[in-house]
Amino acid sequence: MNSGSSQSRLRSIASTLAVALTLVLAAAAGCDSRKEPDLPSVQEKMRETHIYGQSKLRVGVATNEPLMSELRNGKPVGFDVEIARYIAASLGYEGDQRLEFVPVATEERIPALQGGTVDLVVSSFSITEERKKVVSFAGPYFVTTQEVMVPARLKGKISTIEDLRNPDYKICTSGGSTSEAELGSHQVKALVVKTVGDCVAGIRTGRYDAVSSDETILAGFLARHPKEFEIVDMPFGTSELLGIGVPIGDPALRDLVAFFLQKSYQQGRDDQATPWQTAYNRTLGPWLKAEKRQPQPLEVPKLVDFDDKAPAK
Amino acid sequence: MSAAPTATGGDGPVPPPRTSVPGGAASTIDGTAAASTAVDRPAAGAEGDGAWPAAVPVAEPAEPVVAEVEPGRVRWDPAERRARASQSFWTAVVGVPAIFSVLRLGVEAGGELQTTLLLVANVGPVNLLAGFLTTAARLLSTGLVAVFALGAVLAVSADRLPPGTRRRPLFARWADITPAWVVLASFLLALITWPLLYLPLLLTAFVAAFQLRPGRLHDRVVPRLLLIGALLAGYGWLMLPTLRDAMRQGDEWLVLVLIVVPPLLALFIAGPLPGMVIRPLASVTEVAVLATLIWAAVPVITTPVLPLTVTTVGPESGPTEDVRGHVVTTDDVNMVILQEQGGVRYVPVGLVRAQVLCPSEEELPRHQLRIHDFHVEDSLLEGMGRRVRPVHRIDAACRTPA
């Protein structure tokens, strides 16, 4: 009898505690449901960028890099352009009325960002430590390697870096590019012109003998003149990470661009169709020797977006 | 009126009429009492016809009941009381949403009389009510679940109230008079509308409301413990990936507690409570539930009635403008848009270039956790919906500032 009543007392104390704890938990849950998200949201980041409220987004692109970015009937087309369109649409700028492509040459990319004439640069822009001091990068969105393209007449004659050092051959490259620095580090004397297109035109007129640039850009020119050139696999040994250039004073915009690249990357990981894959298949895909996938973007911030609740699979 | 059937009542056996309480009418209208007596006690002449079977007891006259009723004081029998409670219930079910919906229209219109009138003229009552229920179902079920769970626990403890306590706690009385199907329906509504994260709490509330003590699982202790262990293990298996994720994220301690603790509380919550706790608990929870409902009703009133859209407006070849707001109506001439920042725009239909539906910032999730690919802040209904339409595209126009 005695043990029965003490058991009942214990039970009623446990019940009291359980009711009290449940009420506390319910109150905590109620407060939690009215709380703001801890992580910043895409919209908040948008409000921090310099483009917020701007009627048009200006994206710097090259105009003479076949497959990557070139003018066709006055409109830019290519892999870089498609990536730029995806990023712009994600930022709220969709359609020709809201998106302006600004032609920038290789050496104009950094000044254009610094001078504020463009909001973003998507133009085979390699991420380097040196450049990171003056502009911000989101990406990489592509990994490429340094190659050399020679005309058919020199096929077999230029096949090593040693051959490039031969003063008989005039090697051409675009100014302000990583190729220029790479050639310099291998003691190759190169003639520097404005764009790779100028080099290719120069080779066709006999002014130069070889051009060194990114595999992607060279593949574009090879696609344009398939019978006149050949790409030589040179052991430069470094890979180039192409990124999207953003003004250094706008970290919010850099974060957003990185976030949207990551979104596309994640979709690819989940075997979904991605904007990156579509762009690749329509432009570079058929012309590159090896199949490529979207590289994982670096330094991606965690942001909250409207589609976060969508099922992952 | 009650005299009408009695006038012809002499033809055969008529069941005795239910005594009307308060029965003032029976005693005040002359002749009514006499007529009712005639029916209750068939006349001597009729008896000879054998119309009233001998085995059927004859109803007693209503005099004692009538005599007990004091003038000016009304006494309700339980059936009457139940009927009145049911009436009030349905009045609340229909009335509260109607009032809330009208209040919402006023808030939606930005407090402007003319805009409110425009909305009243164009938003149909069915749409309004459906829109209200979509946003308020969660609040409604929360209120009901809280009342029924607390009511059941207080009711089972009521006999421990200190002597001299006159009335049982309010929630206990409500829980007593509510039919079981209403309680069950409230829990079902909560099950499909509450965020998954809060469903463990619903489990605890369910156990409390239906007084499911562990003793009900099995009579003997060992099988009972085994059954409880198995149930908890199953629950743990279901939640383990989410718990692991929450631990990895570090700052999600509330999620951890909300998932782990309620099932353990469910083992003890059914009561009864000690006598001294009942009265304060009843008073505190009554105030708390009321305050919570008012606090939670504010977002329900301020949730928009109409969907948020961005309409691109402009001539065929010329600059365009994005108008962010809620489309009130469209006719042959104009599209009427209630702008997000306030004010109504009449946009000529010919100038509308495009229109997209946009999510609002209130829908942003607070946690980055899933339970088997269902987001913890989604309800079962929302989660299932996302499975039907898994791809969620945010249109570029939705990103642009208002």
Q: Which of B146-150, B291-295, B303-307, B352-356 has the lowest mean pLDDT?
A: B303-307
Calpha distance B327→B306 (Å, rounded): 7
B168 and B288 in a common domain: yes
Is there a contact between A309 and B378 if contact means CB atoms under 8 Å apart? yes
For residues A129-149, give the mean pLDDT.
86
- Res. B57 pLDDT band, cuts 50 70 90: low
**Measuring CA to CA, which residue among A61, A127, A145, A55 is closest to residue A91?**
A55
Residue A215 CB neighbours (<10 A): 25
Span B66-73, average pLDDT? 47
Specify the DSSP element, H or E, that contains B353. Answer: strand B352-357
CB A63 within 8 A of CB A69: yes
**Rounded alpha-carbon distances, angstroms, from residue B84 to A97, B71, B93, B183:** 65, 21, 14, 18
pLDDT tens, A190-248? Answer: 788 888 888 888 888 888 888 888 888 888 888 888 788 888 877 776 788 889 999 98
Q: Look at residue A125 in the predicted model and tell me its pLDDT.
A: 86
pLDDT band at B200 (very low <50, low <70, confident <90, very high): very high
pLDDT of residue A258: 92
CA nearest B376: which of B259, B218, B208, B237?
Answer: B259
CA distance A279 to A285: 9
Whether chain B has a CB inside 8 Å of the CB on A5: the answer is: no
A-B Cβ pairs (cutoff 8 Å, strict): 143
* Touching B: A residues 92-121, CB under 8 Å: 92-94, 97-98
CA distance to A201, A202, A218, B107, per residue, from A205 (Å): 6, 5, 18, 74
Distance CA B201, CA B141 (A): 13
Instruction: Please check whether residue B391 touches A, CB under 8 A.
Output: yes
**Residue B198 to residue A29, Cβ atoms within 8 A:** yes
Q: What is the mean pLDDT of chain B?
A: 77
Residue A103 C-alpha from the chain's centroid = 18
Q: Do A306 and B368 touch (CB under 8 A)?
A: no
Check if A271 contacts B (Cβ < 8 Å): no
Q: Is the pLDDT of residue B46 over 50?
A: no
Q: Which residues fall within 8 angstroms of residue A292, CB to CB, at 6 or more apart? A: A142, A143, A280, A284
Domain holding B53, by residue range, is 4-68
Question: Which chain A residues are closer than 8 Å to B391 by Cβ?
Answer: 310
The tally of domains found in chain B comes to 3
Provide the pLDDT for residue B35: 41
What are the angstrom distances between the C-alpha of B163 and each of A5, B189, B275, B318?
19, 38, 10, 83
Cα-Cα end-to-end distance for chain B: 67
Residue B275 lies in a domain: yes
Least confident of A26-40, A187-201, B26-40, B332-346: B26-40
Model pLDDT, residue B36: 41
A42-144+241-309 under CATH 3.40.190.10, yes or no: yes
Average pLDDT over residues B170-199: 89
A289 pLDDT above the threshold of 80: no
Name the token pair of B276: 């001294």
Same domain, B147 and B292: yes
Say if residue B295 is in the same domain as residue B324: no
Q: How many CB atoms lie within 10 A of CB B62?
A: 21
Is B2 or B147 the better-scoring residue by pLDDT? B147
Q: Which chain A residues are Cβ-neighbours of B386 within 8 angstroms?
A: 309-311
- The reply to whether B297 and B312 lie within a common domain is no
Residues 6 or more apart in contact with residue A297 via CB below 8 angstroms:
A138, A139, A140, A141, A258, A261, A262, A265
- Whether the CB-CB separation of A60 and A105 falls below 8 Å is answered with no
Closest by alpha carbon to A46, among A213, A254, A241?
A254
Residues B182 and B274 in one domain: yes
A38 touches chain B (CB under 8 A): yes
Same domain, yes or no, for B153 and B297? Answer: yes
What is the average per-residue pLDDT within A60-83?
86
The amino acid at residue B30 is: D
The H or E element containing residue B114 is: helix B113-122
Q: Which residues contact A126 (CB under 8 A, 6 or more apart)?
A: A177, A178, A214, A240, A241, A242, A243
- Reduce the DSSP state of residue B336 to 3 states and report it: strand
C-beta separation of A92 from B397 below 8 A: yes
Highest mean pLDDT among A197-206, B50-59, B345-354: B345-354
The shortest CB-CB distance from A306 to any of B254, B319, B363 is to B363
CATH number, domain at B368? 2.30.30
Report CB contact under 8 Å: A311, B373.
yes
Q: Residue B217 and residue B194: Cα distance in Å, rounded?
A: 27
Provide the 10 A C-beta neighbour count for residue B148.
25
Q: Based on the domain organization, do B331 and B285 belong to the same domain?
A: no
What confidence score (pLDDT) does residue B199 get?
Answer: 92
> Looking at the predicted structure, is the pLDDT value of residue A108 above 80?
yes
Per the CB < 8 Å rule, is B274 touching A12?
yes
- Say if residue B63's pLDDT is above 50: no
Radius of gyration over alpha carbons of chain A, in Å?
A: 27
Give the nearest partner residue to A41 out of B269, B288, B364, using CB atoms: B364
Nearest-by-CA chain B residue for A88: B396
The pLDDT-based confidence of B53 (bands split at 50, 70, 90) is low
Side chain identity, residue B49: D
* Distance of alpha carbon A106 from alpha carbon A65, whole angstroms: 10
Cβ A14 vs Cβ A281: under 8 Å = no
Q: Which of B50, B68, B86 is the endpoint of a domain?
A: B68
Q: What is the mean pLDDT of residues B208-237?
A: 86
Q: What is the pLDDT of residue A65?
A: 79
Angle subtended at Cα B95 by Cα B90 and Cα B97, rounded to the nearest 5 degrees = 110
Interface test with A, best of B193, B261, B269 (most A CBs within 10 A): B269
A48 contacts chain B (CB < 8 A)? no
Are B317 and B303 a contacting pair, CB within 8 Å? no
User: Of B364, B381, B393, which to mutate for an interface test with A (greatest number of A Cβ within 10 Å)?
Assistant: B364
- Closest alpha carbon to B203 in B239, B168, B173: B239
Residue B38: pLDDT band with limits 50, 70, 90: very low
Which structure tokens are listed for A261? 């690249």
Q: How confident is the model at residue A176 (pLDDT cuts 50, 70, 90)?
A: low
The answer to whether position B296 is within a domain reads yes
In whole angstroms, give the CA distance from residue A2 to residue A17. 23
Question: Using a CB-CB distance cutoff of 8 angstroms, which residues of chain B are in contact with residue A39?
Answer: 368
Please give the pLDDT value at position A259.
Answer: 92
Q: Do the Cβ atoms of A16 and B277 come within 8 Å? A: yes
Residues of chain A with CATH 3.40.190.10: 42-144+241-309, 146-232
Residues B315 and B395 in one domain: yes
Matching residue, tokens 């919570």:
B292
Binned at pLDDT 50, 70 and 90, residue B343 comes out as confident
Structure tokens given for B226: 């085994």
Task: Tell whether A24 lies on the interface with B, counting CB pairs under 8 A.
Answer: no
Average of pLDDT values for B99-111?
A: 82
Q: Is residue B116 part of a domain?
A: yes
CATH 3.65.10.10 fits A146-232, yes or no: no
Longest CA–CA span in chain B (Å) reads 102
Interface of B with A in 162-221 (CB under 8 A): 195, 197-198, 201, 204-205, 208
- Nearest to B141, CA basis, from B192, B176, B179: B192
- Comparing alpha-carbon positions, the chain B residue that sits nearest to A9 is B274
**What is the torsion angle, in degrees rounded to the nearest 10, for the CA atoms of residue B22, residue B25, residue B26 and residue B28?**
120
- Whether residues B207 and B152 share a domain: the answer is yes
Chain A residue at shortest CA distance from B251: A38
Q: For residues B149 and B57, state if they share a domain.
A: no
Specify whether the CB–CB gap between A75 and A163 falls below 8 A: no
Pair B314, B287 in one domain = no
Of the candidates A248, A283, A49, the one whose C-alpha atom is nearest the C-alpha of residue A138 is A248
Q: How confident is the model at residue B165 (pLDDT cuts 50, 70, 90)?
A: low
* Range with lowest mean pLDDT among A49-53, A305-309, B68-72, B188-192: B68-72
pLDDT value, residue B76: 61
Do you find a cis peptide bond into A140, omega within 30 degrees of 0?
yes
Q: What's residue B70's pLDDT? A: 47
Q: In what order do the strands lie in the sheet with A69-72?
A: A64-65, A69-72, A75-77
Is residue A10 less than 8 Å (CB to CB) from chain B?
A: no
| CB proximity under 8 Å: A 180-219 to B | none
Task: Report the pLDDT value the prediction gives residue B28, as an integer from 0 to 100.
Answer: 39
Q: How much is the mean pLDDT over chain A? A: 83
- Is residue B298 located within the same domain as residue B157? yes
Report yes or no: A122 and A244 within 8 Å, Cβ to Cβ. yes
Reply yes or no on whether the pLDDT at B300 is more than 90: no
* Residue B34 distance to chain A (closest CA, Å): 58
Q: A22 or A146: whose pLDDT is higher? A: A22
User: Hey, are the CB atoms on B387 and A311 less than 8 Å from each other?
Assistant: yes
The confidence band for B74, taking pLDDT boundaries of 50, 70 and 90, is low
Whole-number Å distance between alpha carbons of A268 and A112: 32
Q: Which residue of A has its CA nearest to B322?
A: A55
The answer to whether residue B266 scores a pLDDT higher than 50 is yes
Residues of B in contact with A9 (CB under 8 A): 274
